Amino acid sequence: MKKILSFACAILMGIGAMSAQQGSMGAGINLGYGSEIKSMEIGAKFQYGITNNIRGEVAWDYFLEKDYVSMWDLNITGHYLFNVAEKINVYPLAGLHYAKVKVDFGEFGSASDGEIGFHLGGGAEYQITPNIKADIEAKYQFSSTDQAVISVGLVYQF
């Protein structure tokens, strides 16, 4: 019985190690689309493995100007990783963001406004190589500029 319990613990620890690996870090880029601003998004992100299954992420996204409106946001997000296959993780996500919207009135100037909100969503990632993974995420940002954001990205782990 002791051997079975030891073996089961070793397997569970191995699954957790494949998820985030406590102390692991990664930096990456992403491209996406915002439903309210109706614009493409480009961004950069940094990830840190807090525990084997919990990862924190800080991301900055810029939504390209369209119809004289542009937006950027700064996100602080938590992921809870579930390892569903050898190289695949899925995760729910939740966090806070600060979003700033700018309207350009041409020669008459511009106006901008920013606010804090929160977001919820989910994602999946695929480990391409030991150091590179691809991800896809969908989240909904709750604030006065409520919108859904869908993005794809690449992360280099170091």
DSSP one-letter string for 31-48: EEEETTTTEEEEEEEEEE
Backbone φ and ψ of 52, nearest 5°: -65, -25
The conformation of residue 7, written as its DSSP 8-state character, comes to H
Q: Are 85 and 91 in contact (CB under 8 A)?
A: no
Q: Is pLDDT at 97 greater than 70 in this prediction?
A: yes
Type of residue numbered 2: K
Geometric angle at alpha carbon 152, from 158 and 22, rounded to 5°: 30
Cβ burial, residue 63 (10 Å; 0-12/13-18/19+): buried
Mean pLDDT taken over the chain: 88
Provide the percentage of residues in the chain whose pLDDT is more than 70.
87
Geometric angle at alpha carbon 114, from 62 and 27, rounded to 5°: 35
Type of residue numbered 40: M
pLDDT in the model for residue 8: 39
Which residue has better confidence, 19 or 101? 101
Which residue has better confidence, 105 or 128? 128
Average the pLDDT over each of 58-62, 113-117, 134-138 and give the range with the smallest value.
113-117
pLDDT in the model for residue 145: 77
